[in-house]
Amino acid sequence: MGMLYEEITDELAAWINQQHMFFVATAPLAASGHVNCSPKGLDALRILGPRAIAYLDVTGSSAETAAHLRENGRIVFMFCEMTGTPKILRLHGVGSVILPESAQWDELAPNFPTHPGARSIVRAEITRIADSCGFGVPKYEFVRQRRGLSTWAEAKGVDGLASYRAECNRRSIDGLPGLDI
């Protein structure tokens, strides 16, 4: 049976920090818009407090999360236990996108490993914390993080990443403003 939590407890924080992957989901306000759910890895998530988390967002093929957060702020993080006792944890909240030129970037960026494709930090104030059984989640063993995204970003270089972001990250697939970087 699932439980609700008032905050990210030390026990939950330890469990979250053991997960090698998590999912982020957002949605636009328009019913005809596309819901986005993205898997994340790369040691990108940090717990900032009992009701606050952030993750390092790296350059990707679109900017759905940023666009949706700019429009309405709604976000949910989902963690699934893949190796041990079945468990799913969802953190619902209100998120914001922090860009490299922001003072908040200077405050938060030292919490994360350096990544050549870093484009923003997504920070969320958590409003609901709930777990569920996860009995339907298959069991998997972690092998390693993939290097493909880092290799791709390194090959693009600073100017290549800026061009790519200008072309692919300015608007969501629904035409919402994405990242202006």
Digit-coded pLDDT (tens) for 75-89: 999 999 989 889 999
Give the domain ranges of the chain: 4-168
Q: What is the pLDDT of residue 155?
A: 92
Q: Which has the closest alpha carbon to 60: 84, 44, 78?
A: 44
Q: What is 4-168's CATH number, 1.10.40.30, 2.60.98.20, 2.40.50.840, 2.30.110.10?
A: 2.30.110.10
Q: Which has the closest alpha carbon to 180: 167, 161, 168, 166?
A: 166
Give the rounded percent of residues in the chain with a pLDDT score beyond 70: 99
- Measured CA angle at 46 (ends 41, 48), to 5 deg: 160
- Model confidence band, residue 1 (pLDDT cutoffs 50, 70, 90): low
Q: What is the pLDDT of residue 129?
A: 98
Q: Which residues contact 64 (CB under 8 A, 6 or more apart)?
A: 26, 34, 36, 38, 172, 173, 178
Q: What is the pLDDT of residue 139?
A: 86
Distance CA 13, CA 10 (A): 5
Average pLDDT value for residue range 45-63: 95
Residue that has been written with the tokens 């880092």 in this structure? 150
pLDDT, one tens digit per residue, over 96-154 is 999 999 999 999 999 999 999 999 999 999 999 999 998 888 888 888 888 888 898 98
Average pLDDT value for residue range 162-171: 90
Q: What is the pLDDT of residue 111?
A: 97
The answer to whether residue 181 scores a pLDDT higher than 80 is no
Q: What is the pLDDT of residue 42?
A: 87
Contact 79, 16 (CB under 8 A): yes
Mean pLDDT lowest among 25-29, 49-53, 174-178: 174-178
Q: What is the mean pLDDT of the chain?
A: 93
Read off the pTM.
0.93
Q: What is the pLDDT of residue 71?
A: 96
Sort residue 134 into left (φ over 0), alpha (ψ -120 to 50) or beta. Answer: left
